[in-house]
Structure 1
């Protein structure tokens, strides 16, 4: 009897259930769970309420990427939501869905019934994997659509300021926001595949359910450390960060594409490991509770080896060394953002129009007042920006204190003169307005792939 239900090569008189029927059955099982229904409802409603509520507050989450622009455009909201989702929501969602899809059968003791009905472990694995993928895609779509609708309805379909200060039209902003969410699917799939692997190897143990969240937390902690850029890009979680390169001109695609490829490689590898372990499992033992030794030898060690291999491949393919944060990159990023935002301030004050080419903005940056090498992350960067106005005899200067994070994000805080960047409001002919030069965000591309022209 056992050989009949576990071996695809044995001819049986009963007709096997197709993958399509098994997929529909597993999808109904997932959606019928109250926690999955609550998650779907929350993902399609909560982001809209959150974005609309925050957009109406006087204090904005300026420490979050694009948070300072939530009063200005509805397209900042879905990006703020994406930043939060990549850190917390998506790892937890993959844990609840993919991390429990196999373990639930162990808890309920229903493997024998399922095998008798389907007569193929391979089809069961495919059906469960596809059903969990469908639910995860539904949850991600809800987060993206809900936050975008909430932002546009609450604030409006206005232009979005990019990470280098250039202005994106509403249509361009919408396309970039959609693309950013699509790119975030790659690391989400990697976490889901790790969830499948944990669910298969650890049985009814709660560690299988928590594995994607724990892996995501470990990768987030790693991104906060001063790791070499090759190690940073070789972690699948980096694609949760590198989408910000879409919002510069030209787009910083090198780190983004690297993060996506690495995430997809991890997805395939973890799914293949889960599949091999699943079809080799002994389903005749009702007391099976996972195999700790097999989880290490066939689950953990191959992923550790994959991590080492991706680090080596990324290092050779990109030639990246060190932190990827150098003085010239910081200076170029600050000067470019300042020039774009200076034009915005000029329009606010109804002054004569000026172009970036006319401004010829440059930045001179050092670290720890010149006492440390001008490279690497830290909140001790200081920049003096210089620009020229047509017809003016003397150039203008402005000072900024910078906080550069290990992933390349720059937060510039204006330190005078008051008329330029020393106060968060500027007096315009129509009243006080937020000063775009007071604080702004920038981005250092960790790979040398974007033209410096």
Structure 2
């Protein structure tokens, strides 16, 4: 009996096909009844709150993670730190356990014949299993965001959050943007879920089907750490796991985020469609079925590789055409999609903006006369590795000199920063003098003593010059 034979109309009133809704409820009950799924649900709804609350009370913070240095200052930094961890490890593992095993479990248990007799429609079986796994994944993600947010707010409080350009977000704005950031990472999670469905169908009982989303996510994360061209970086769905940081700048860097979401959804649709086609064509009479390696490559891998190639070509054409019209004399080396997207002018603009916002914050904390960003007129002059090296691309050898003017003072102030810029455009600026401005010292805030905000700060360089707030 094959999948095609299962479509034959049965005789008798008692053998009517089950509806999709009934199959969905059955598959959802099967998933939730598994002990590992129940443990995952409990872990996702409890562990993040405990982790965020515990870390927020520690003297040392995860400053190498975005918003980690602000976990003492506001409870809204906790769910963003958890989001960075989830995009790297938690979400790929969750999609592997749920979507990567939803079809393979029937192969291990040898229950395909009973399921086909009861449902009498492979199409309904696939839809029910896909929607059931999606429901469980949404429940797990909801637990991560709600638990981490509750832990942070209870432990620290709902206070304003410092954005990646130094501007201060109110508690309400921070809450909305935290929620939006988690909603945005649903798109790459769906892409990994589609890959999990594809691996579960194509590889049968093989453990590779279960581990496929993890391996794919790890490979794409390693690719994001390499100095890839902008078009290639945005063509991978993993970029949406980090593009949410653009929500926390003013104006928001929406273009890379929207591209990442669109690419992720395209991957999700294509991978799920391929899994559906393979499922309809498989032979259910072979109880020792372990998948077809050749079919997995031709029907599963090659279309996804083709999608990457097409996406890269489209993005290269679009970005190059747009950037050519907007290229400046100081940033022409990164004006096309074949460059890193990290240029001197972009770094200077980002550092100067963040410094101006944080200088105003420091002024308020030190109870000095108030000054606005416009009156400061902060500018930055940055180079990379000396004057002999082109000031572009990632690296930890960026050096910036920030200049600003105070009202009533003729001489301009200057501060030096050493920058470590990652290939995805994020950077950490480390103050290098004068110590009275960006050295390490404590300032008094309404929440207690805190490090000087100008000492070290995180920022992001917009890889695309086409983004609008």
Band the TM-score falls in, shorter-chain normalisation: over 0.9
Q: Name the counterpart of 2:70.
A: 69
CA displacement at 1:428 relative to structure 2: 8.1
- Cα distance change of structure 1 residues 421 and 127 upon mapping to structure 2, 3 Å threshold: same
CA displacement at 1:10 relative to structure 2: 3.6
CA displacement at 1:450 relative to structure 2: 3.5
Q: Distance in 2 between matches of 1:181 and 1:284?
A: 43
Q: Distance in 1 between matches of 2:382 and 2:4?
A: 72
| Residue deviations 1:228-287 (CA, integer Å, cap 9, x gap) | 000000000100000000000000001000000000000000000000000111112222
Q: Name the counterpart of 1:263.
A: 264
Q: Name the counterpart of 1:344.
A: 361
Q: Distance in 1 between matches of 2:339 and 2:88?
A: 25
CA displacement at 1:163 relative to structure 2: 0.2
> 3-state DSSP class of the match of 2:437?
coil
- Cα distance change of structure 1 residues 284 and 433 upon mapping to structure 2, 3 Å threshold: closer
Contact conserved, 2:253 with 2:468, CA < 8 A, in 1? no
Which segment drifts farther, 119-128 or 364-373?
Answer: 364-373
| Residue deviations 1:277-330 (CA, integer Å, cap 9, x gap) | 001111122221111111111111111111111111111222233000000000
Q: Distance in 2 between matches of 1:353 and 1:301?
A: 60
Q: Name the counterpart of 1:6.
A: 6
Q: Distance in 2 between matches of 1:389 and 1:32?
A: 65
CA displacement at 1:430 relative to structure 2: 11
Q: Distance in 1 between matches of 2:212 and 2:4?
A: 33
- Cα distance change of structure 1 residues 75 and 274 upon mapping to structure 2, 3 Å threshold: same
Q: Distance in 2 between matches of 1:12 and 1:374?
A: 75
Q: Note if 1:376 corresponds to 2:377.
A: no
Q: Name the counterpart of 1:145.
A: 146
Contact conserved, 1:72 with 1:155, CA < 8 A, in 2? yes
- Cα distance change of structure 1 residues 107 and 381 upon mapping to structure 2, 3 Å threshold: same
Contact conserved, 2:381 with 2:400, CA < 8 A, in 1? yes
Q: Distance in 2 between matches of 1:396 and 1:344?
A: 17
> 3-state DSSP class of the match of 1:436?
coil
Residue from 403, 407, 416 that aligns with 2:433: 416
Contact conserved, 1:4 with 1:10, CA < 8 A, in 2? no
Q: Name the counterpart of 1:313.
A: 314
Q: Distance in 2 between matches of 1:288 and 1:3?
A: 14
Q: Name the counterpart of 2:210.
A: 209
What aligned pairs does 1:41-190 form with structure 2 within 5 A after superposition?
Answer: 41-190=42-191
What aligned pairs does 1:246-257 form with structure 2 within 5 A after superposition?
Answer: 246-257=247-258
Structural RMSD (CA): 1.6
> 3-state DSSP class of the match of 1:402?
strand
Q: Distance in 2 between matches of 1:202 and 1:392?
A: 71
Q: Distance in 1 between matches of 2:353 and 2:311?
A: 33
> 3-state DSSP class of the match of 2:383?
strand
4+ aligned runs moved over 3 Å, structure 1: 1-5, 9-13, 426-433
What aligned pairs does 1:274-353 form with structure 2 within 5 A after superposition?
Answer: 274-319=275-320, 320-353=337-370
CA displacement at 1:4 relative to structure 2: 7.9
Q: Note if 1:400 corresponds to 2:428.
A: no
Q: Distance in 2 between matches of 1:120 and 1:430?
A: 61
CA displacement at 1:204 relative to structure 2: 0.1
Q: Provide the aligned length of Structure 1 versus Structure 2.
A: 451
Q: Distance in 2 between matches of 1:246 and 1:427?
A: 28
Residue from 453, 456, 461 that aligns with 1:436: 453
Contact conserved, 1:74 with 1:158, CA < 8 A, in 2? yes
Question: Unmatched 5+ residue regions in structure 2?
Answer: 321-336
Contact conserved, 2:49 with 2:150, CA < 8 A, in 1? yes
CA displacement at 1:357 relative to structure 2: 0.2
Contact conserved, 1:252 with 1:449, CA < 8 A, in 2? no
CA displacement at 1:3 relative to structure 2: 7.4
Q: Distance in 2 between matches of 1:303 and 1:430?
A: 50
> 3-state DSSP class of the match of 2:73?
coil
CA displacement at 1:370 relative to structure 2: 1.9
| Residue deviations 1:15-69 (CA, integer Å, cap 9, x gap) | 1000000000000000000000000000000000000000000000000000000
Contact conserved, 1:398 with 1:417, CA < 8 A, in 2? yes
Question: Unmatched 5+ residue regions in structure 1?
Answer: none
CA displacement at 1:168 relative to structure 2: 0.4
| Residue deviations 1:389-430 (CA, integer Å, cap 9, x gap) | 000110100000000000000100000101000214247899
CA displacement at 1:431 relative to structure 2: 8.0
> 3-state DSSP class of the match of 1:419?
helix
In the superposition, the TM-score normalised over structure 2's length comes to: 0.94
CA displacement at 1:177 relative to structure 2: 0.1
CA displacement at 1:372 relative to structure 2: 1.1
